[in-house]
Amino acid sequence: MSMQAGELWLANIPFTSGMASKIRPVLILWLDGLDAVVAVVTSANPRSITDVALVDWQAAGLRLASTVRLSRLDCLEQSLLFRKLGVLSATDSLAIKIAWDLHLKPQF
Q: What is the CATH number of the domain that holds 72?
A: 2.30.30.110
User: How much is the pTM?
Assistant: 0.93
The pLDDT score that the predictor gives to residue 17 is 78
Residue 59 lies in a domain: yes
Residue 25 lies in a domain: yes
> Is pLDDT at 1 greater than 90 in this prediction?
no
The pLDDT score that the predictor gives to residue 58 is 98
pLDDT for 12-69, tens place per residue? 998 877 788 899 999 999 999 999 999 999 999 999 999 999 999 999 999 999 999 9
Among 53, 56, 63, which residue's Cα sits nearest to residue 91? 56
The parent domain of residue 52 ranges over: 7-103
Residues 6+ apart with CB under 8 A from 50: 69, 70, 71, 99, 103, 104
Number of domain units in the chain: 1
Residue 32 lies in a domain: yes
Residue 1 lies in a domain: no
Residue 15 lies in a domain: yes
The pLDDT score that the predictor gives to residue 14 is 86
Residue 88 lies in a domain: yes
The pLDDT score that the predictor gives to residue 91 is 98
